[in-house]
């Protein structure tokens, strides 16, 4: 299919990109990796007047680490994160998730910021952002603001960015030492979007009880979901079959997965519980008991 007509601009700096977005607002769309946007253009689900290509904005293609966080520039390629051994050691849940994102050719072009801004509820990065308590730094003509992951995702392919703002950075908080993590999903074929998935983080205190629990779900509704009620079933309890079953049952009850040609809502409800159970067991096995 042919793409719709639009004006193409390729800024060389982040400042220029923000200026263009401020000038054109909703009439301008940003091109990062293009793995989601180009198909939308071809199918006429998006018809911008202006396409702002960020691929020359090299200042956004960075990975930085400090004592408490990992900073990922919006134009960092997913394959660059996948290839950063030091980063994966600090955020091991990414090592589970990244090989499941499409195929390597997609990860070579796709960007972290592009996937998060696209806000597909079945995509891996938005759920990872929730599980890791990520923050998004966005910039517009009125300055820079920081958004928590829980307030960033508004609906299917809808985020909290204003029409004149550009995502600059995603900042992932490092989990406490000894925290176990896991990411699991189920897809019909390798490289397909997941029918459902779960990202989990588990901390165990010196009494053998769950000190921290985070569960984020994908493919179960209009946005990625932070399963806070299920987390409460775990915190302060031993991580055993009973507490895991209670958390998984709560996730099944609160999920609102759609029905489509790939699977019914009923099947996805069941799948959510199975995947949450697997992810919690794996995260618990990887957790180290906090020292006295």
Residue 232 sits in a domain whose CATH number is: 3.30.390.50
Is the domain of 102 the same as that of 118?
Answer: yes
Between residues 122 and 191, the one the model is more confident about: 122
Each residue of 159-199: pLDDT tens digit?
A: 999 999 999 999 999 999 899 999 999 998 888 888 999 99
pLDDT at 291 over 60: no
CB 60 within 8 Å of CB 30:
no
Per-residue pLDDT band for 65 (boundaries 50, 70, 90) equals very high
Asked whether residue 292 is assigned to any structural domain, the reply reads no
For 78, the enclosing helix (H) or strand (E) is: helix 78-82
Helix (H, G, I), strand (E, B) or coil at 288: coil
CB 73 within 8 Å of CB 113:
yes
pLDDT at 119 over 70: yes
Q: What are phi and psi of 148, to 5 degrees?
A: -75, 150
**DSSP for 121-149?**
TTSHHHHHHHHTT-EEEEEETTEEEEEEH
Each residue of 202-212: pLDDT tens digit?
A: 999 999 999 99
Distances (CA, A) of 243 to 110, 112, 236, 247, 251: 38, 34, 10, 6, 12
Residue 101 sits in a domain whose CATH number is: 3.30.465.10
Each residue of 70-99: pLDDT tens digit?
A: 999 999 999 999 999 999 999 999 999 999
Residue 11 sits in a domain whose CATH number is: 3.30.43.10
Helix (H, G, I), strand (E, B) or coil at 66: coil
Range of the domain at 144: 59-173
- Number of domains comprising the chain: 3
Asked whether residue 291 is assigned to any structural domain, the reply reads no
Closest by Cα among 101, 93, 255, 52 to 175:
93
């Amino acid at each position: 299919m042919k793409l719709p007509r639009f004006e193409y601009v390729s800024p060389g700096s982040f400042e220029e990109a923000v200026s263009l977005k401020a000038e054109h607002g909703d009439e301008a769309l940003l091109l990062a990796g293009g793995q989601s946007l180009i198909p939308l253009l071809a199918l006429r689900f998006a018809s911008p007047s202006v396409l702002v290509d960020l691929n020359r904005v090299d200042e956004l293609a960075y990975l930085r680490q400090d004592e408490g966080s990992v900073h990922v520039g919006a134009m960092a390629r997913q394959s660059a994160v996948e290839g950063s051994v030091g980063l994966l050691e600090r955020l091991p849940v990414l090592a589970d998730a990244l090989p499941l994102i499409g195929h390597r050719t997609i990860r070579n072009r796709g960007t972290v910021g592009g996937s998060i801004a696209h806000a597909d509820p079945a995509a891996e990065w938005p759920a990872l952002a929730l599980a890791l308590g990520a923050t998004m730094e966005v910039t517009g003509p009125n300055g820079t603001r920081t958004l928590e992951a829980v307030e960033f995702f508004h609906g299917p392919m809808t985020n909290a960015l204003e029409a004149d703002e550009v995502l600059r950075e995603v900042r992932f908080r490092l989990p406490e030492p000894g925290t176990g993590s896991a990411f699991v999903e189920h897809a019909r074929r390798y490289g397909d979007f997941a029918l459902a998935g779960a990202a989990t983080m588990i901390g165990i205190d010196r009494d053998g009880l769950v000190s921290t629990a985070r569960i984020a779900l994908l493919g179960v509704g209009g946005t990625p979901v932070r399963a806070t009620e299920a987390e409460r079933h775990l915190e302060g309890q031993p991580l055993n079959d009973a507490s895991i079953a209670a958390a998984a049952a709560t996730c099944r009850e609160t999920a609102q997965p759609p029905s489509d040609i790939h699977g019914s809502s009923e099947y996805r409800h069941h799948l959510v519980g199975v995947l949450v159970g697997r992810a919690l067991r794996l995260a618990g096995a990887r957790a180290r008991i906090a020292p006295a």
